[in-house]
Structure 1
């Protein structure tokens, strides 16, 4: 009996510092939802009222490792961005080292000033910075061409321009340690419509998505800009949706 009690107490002590890695929803309010899709990766979803599509859920990604984190895309305004940052601070207890808007639309960078107010540096495709400035949207601080790697603890997050699609400036994020791809608005959830294509390169879109598989062949989790996350079926669906026969 003493041995059994000792074992139970030891288990409790050992597990007291264990990190709960259960996947699924971890936070939910009227303005912001957070879902864990991998041990250290979370999808943040905020909600944008649009004239053409009604209330639209807009996704971004948080990746945390050690005492640092990187975030792809801001929530839809500064207030919800502050809500997100408060959750990251209280629940993850990490320092956000970068915010990366994946293109220049409101669902990617409208909450950027909240990040700047928190002294978080922002990085974006040079074209995204150009468009944000031209259309008087919040402007990221630092620009890049091609690929960029952001150190997050002892690992890294990657961001890359693979080709045109939803816009000519759209980039994607990739977390090698978790095989998570944040496709942003370049990638559609299964069953989704084409959505807004006013600035799209329809001809190049399926080719660009095909390049994602070539560049990140170990991808396990795919997060779209809107809708449900999944696996490689999202890339296949997006390629088919924008193929010439459609």
Structure 2
């Protein structure tokens, strides 16, 4: 039945479904996991990088976390080319706002701008939906720290903790169990690392397979977005006893 209605994004099935949008969301469910956690003093993003070859220059490829503006970071899951296009669009929108108003673009306004574009690609013939979902971590003085999730349909919503990508159901269940309203950044980083360890198809956690980013406030309410270096990621994994050396040691003890 679906084959009669899935050749156009503008054709609804008798059940009221748009199959092209559902196919885009299915593509995202096979992408690397991205987790966002809202803490009382910041926001954490953590992502699994799909390292396809040891010959790749890891510092220049497989990016999952991007800085959109001075107050917004985003993690992506899905088609990399689609993500790059939307990231560039969001950066241009944020910079135009900054030039016009001499202030950073409010987080939800930036999210809505990108989602308006994504929604447009679901209602015109000759187009296909963007096969990518985003987690946005941002801050503005009015609403403080915020975490948003958006999908290919153009829908977005605010979250305290969320996950997109492969095994997102497992990750969401773990986040529900462990999330606390008053957790700080260190606790949020640890929870993100533990959750990723349950969703990744590996027995050991290594910094070259992960990306972490934090959004915090510095002195004078100055927003500080920061993508963690491999050494900082290793420190997080060591603190949670998830690093490769820790897991190898545990396996030797069990043996």
TM-score (norm 1): 0.32
Q: Which has the higher contact order (CA 8 A, sep 6+)?
A: 2
More helix by share: 2
More strand by share: 1
